[in-house]
Amino acid sequence: MLSLDPDFLRTFLAISETGSFGAAGERVNKTQSTVSAQMKRLEEIVGVPLFEKKGRRNVLTPDGLKLLEYAASMVRLNDEAIRAFKPPEISGRIRLGAIDEYAQAFLPGTLRSFAAVHPAVHVEVATGSSGQLRDLLEAGELDAAIISCRTGDSDTEILRSDRLHWFGGETTPRTMTIRSPYAHGRQAAHGVKWRPQHSCAMAANGAWRSPPQMRRSSR
């Protein structure tokens, strides 16, 4: 029993709209030779010519016009049936904050996996200290943030726990100032030069970017 392939009909509709096998091929992502072969087979199935040349354009014959309405309906119903059994695609933007060490260690692989499953979601990543990211989160400028927190914080969800270790050179011991929330602030108080560095590997391939307000430099 003969049947009309929805893929052939989709190509047929593209030719009817563009008037060109080449332009139709670009629209349906096929080579011109593939388009020609599909239309030859479609004409064999229906048993009548579907196109005729008028100047440089391919226009529908009377039988082609008769097929046009059926083709549009069949392609539409085919697409509706496919969508009915596919989960809705998530799209939009997520603004994610992460402290520097977590952004460099965990986010590249995580974001690659996320992008493969949800290609229509654009993720923006801001890096900074836990205090800065918490402020942005409370101000509504971030949707979520991966930060360091104390055990028992009621407004956070624990993703993982790490044991904290202090390391210092025996020849240059430093008394840490506990009032400052930022390690680099303590270092600067003792005249220790510092300069934060950010990994640009993900920024280079477009996976994420750091908003201007989160970029830091030492002067």
Is the separation of the CB atoms in 178 and 168 below 8 Å? no
Answer whether residue 3 shows pLDDT above 50.
Answer: yes
Pairwise CA distance, residues 156 & 171, whole Å: 39
Give whichever of 18-32, 80-94, 182-196 has the largest mean pLDDT: 18-32
The 10s digit of each residue's pLDDT in 46-98 is 999 999 999 889 999 999 999 999 999 999 999 999 888 887 778 899 999 99
pLDDT value at position 68? 95
Answer whether residue 36 shows pLDDT above 90.
Answer: yes
Task: Give all domains of the chain, ordered by start, each with its CATH number.
Answer: 6-84 (1.10.10.10), 92-214 (3.40.190.10)
The residue type of 193 is K
Q: Any idea what DSSP says for residue 170?
A: S
Compute the radius of gyration of the chain from its Cα atoms. 30
Packing angle between helix 32-46 and helix 6-18, nearest 10 degrees?
110
pLDDT value at position 219? 40
pLDDT value at position 205? 45
Mean residue pLDDT of the chain comes to 80
pTM here? 0.45
Pairwise CA distance, residues 19 & 60, whole Å: 9
pLDDT value at position 204? 46
pLDDT value at position 213? 47
pLDDT band at 20 (very low <50, low <70, confident <90, very high): very high
The residue type of 4 is L
pLDDT value at position 175? 54
φ and ψ of 66, to 5 deg: -65, -40
